[in-house]
Chains A and B, each alone.
Chain A
Amino acid sequence: MSFVEINEVSKSYGQLKVLDRVSLSIERGEFVTLLGPSGCGKSTLLRAIAGLNTIDEGGIVVGGQDITHLPPKRRGVGMVFQSYALFPNMTVFENIAFGLKMEKKPKQEIEQLVNEMIATVDLKGKENNYPHELSGGQQQRVALARSLVKRPTVLLLDEPLSALDAKIRRSLRNEIKEVQKKLNMTTIFVTHDQEEALSVSDRIYVMNHGNIEQSGTPQEIYTSPKTEFVARFIGNYNVWSREELQNTAFRGVPAEGEMFAVRPESIRLTAGPAAEASGEITADGSIVRASVLGNVIRYEVDVSGLAVTVDTLFDKAGQEHRLGSRVTLHIPKDEWKAIQKSPSKTGR
């Protein structure tokens, strides 16, 4: 049995089913991400684990203890909120000490634990500052320290980086990952940002409409999406149905499968028409748009009416394909992924 077991959890708000018999299991020390668009139920699930939401059906077990019906204060979990939720009337030290005071730990022990934690999250010298005197990144580190100092069974992170600007977001994300590894803290991270999810997680659950669409390591999720939804959500995948491909010049399309996904960076471009090569799916097209994204050039190639996105490494300046020039697309057969069609969104 895994450290965290979520069994068939359901939750509805009126007619709206927010969680539909969701099950997942997490090993001790694992960093797991719930990834999905807003309204997919990821935050509701996280809040249910913390005890801030009730659930209609199902059970939640952490460390062998059934916590489904316990009040939040007796669950022993830690949670970090998107808006920090620091106590404005308390200093950094008092904020971090709050949870320990609630446990009625002796004063000396509290002082020692809090000081250790302040050093861990790199806030030395800010002990006596009030939250409003700190930057957003520092505030979120205080919130993290406040949760970690109690050594929670599970650390729940509810979009903790969303209110920060891009630079801080990246550095804090790595810091969180480092602290998590150091303390071997079982962590559930909720985000709608696929890059964030891919970079920090041991495992990702992609959620949609209260269901888990796919789970796996970041590599699995990114390179082998199983459904149309995951392929569209996770990156810049080219997603085509067989119907769309019917009248195009793609050569060597497999006979099976309804929908296909191709990563833009797995497509190779060569100038002019090329001889047919075995082991590849090829097509002729012309460049309609090219944009430099930094180290990558993103082309939009028109293949008899179908727009194809192709990413190539911007390694040699001056060798880009010109707008309107004829090119051949080469796609390795094993990068041409057959995926499941996702039901079109209705009722939302």
Chain B
Amino acid sequence: MQSKLSTGGKIWHICVIIVVIAYMLTPVFGTIMFSIADEWGGILPKGYTLKWYEELFNDLRFWQAIGRSFLVSILSTVITLIVMVPAVFVAATYLPQYERLMQGIVLLPFALPGIVLAVGLMRIYSSGPIPLTGTIWILVGVYFTVIMPYVYQSVRNSLRSINAIQLVEAAEVLGAGKAQAFLRVVLPNIMPGLLVAGLLSISLLLGEFVLANMLVGGSFEVLQVFLFHKFSISGHLVSAIIVIFFTVIFFFYLIILTISGRRPKAKPVAIAEEGDQA
């Protein structure tokens, strides 16, 4: 009776999974087909070609856009990490009374839709004492706030999982200063967490369009803006760009999964087996 029920359940599970996967992969598959299609007729293309990729790879603007995208994403992520990691550490370890304030600040970007943020920023920075609109710096600044919540959360979790407060206390009693305790004990142990947070942020920013288009647009053309311009020219070309973008992001996530899947060195709580003792 029970086994009958579970086989029935199993088939049902598999059906649902297949439908979901199909639903999610169909557009990807379609995009790939379209990017290698010569001419489309009926359900499948009439002929296959790589000419769209060839055209793209011969386009200097494409390479520049990719370069700019990576530059601005990596720069923003690195700056965010450099600012946020020590800040979160200090708040979590030495100033717990400010933790709530920090959480409030970190959640603020969620309260503002991207478009509202962009319009406001454009108004402030298009003229006046700091004219930043149209430069890479306004993008770096706004990307900082975009990824701040993710960075905060992952740093926080990393610190908790290694029991950072106790490690710092142990290091201090052993004669280390606060800075030494951070650099030699805390930082090496939260490194995997930081790497994952960084890669996630970069891949998130690589796909960002609204802010990039509104604040900078053509004067610092990143990949998503380039893609947008190509829409009016050729759908095949756009598909090829998207396929390349997917591939890059895919490898990013592969790296992230490898790093975060590794067995953490730190044990969260001190309960270990006593195999070879007694």
Contact = CB atoms under 8 A, between A and B. Distances in A.
13 contacts: A51-B173, A52-B173, A72-B169, A73-B174, A73-B177, A87-B185, A98-B174, A98-B176, A99-B174, A102-B176, A102-B180, A134-B272, A139-B272
B163 interface: yes
B163 A83 contact: yes
B265 interface: yes
Contact of B174 (A51, A71, A146, A164): A146
A71 B162 CA distance: 24
A79 B173 contact: yes
Interface residues of A, number: 41
Contacts of B167: 85, 87
Interface stretch (A165-173, A223-231, A266-274): A165-173
B162 A85 contact: no
Nearest to A86: B170
B273 A73 contact: no
Interface string B259-278: 00000011101111111111
A282 B277 CA distance: 49
Nearest to B269: A83
Given A77-B173, A98-B174, A103-B175, A85 B166 contact: yes
Given A83-B166, A134-B272, A102 B173 contact: no
A137 B267 contact: no
A81 interface: yes
A322 to B, nearest CB: 39
B277 A137 contact: yes
A36 interface: no
Interface in A163-197: 163-165, 167-168, 171
Nearest to B188: A89
A167 B166 CA distance: 26
A72 B171 CA distance: 9
Interface of A: 50-52, 71-73, 75, 77-79, 81-89, 98-99, 102-103, 130-132, 134-139, 146-147, 150, 163-165, 167-168, 171
A52 B274 CA distance: 30
A52 B168 CA distance: 10
A52 B272 contact: no
A239 to B, nearest CB: 35
Contacts of B166: 81, 83, 85
A163 B271 contact: yes
Interface of B: 162-163, 166-167, 169-177, 180, 185, 188-189, 265-267, 269-278
Nearest to B190: A89
Contacts of A82: 270
Given A137-B274, A139-B272, A88 B189 contact: yes
B172 A71 contact: yes
Given A73-B172, A73-B177, 4 more contacts: A85-B169, A102-B175, A136-B273, A165-B274
B160 to A, nearest CB: 13
A87 B186 CA distance: 9
B270 A89 contact: no
Given A85-B163, A137-B277, A168-B278, A132 B173 contact: no
Nearest to A71: B172
A150 B174 contact: yes
B203 to A, nearest CB: 27
Q: Which 9 A-B pairs have the closest CB atoms?
A: A102-B175, A99-B174, A83-B270, A85-B170, A136-B272, A88-B266, A72-B172, A89-B188, A88-B265
Given A88-B162, A89-B265, A163 B270 contact: yes
A89 B271 contact: no
A303 B116 CA distance: 82
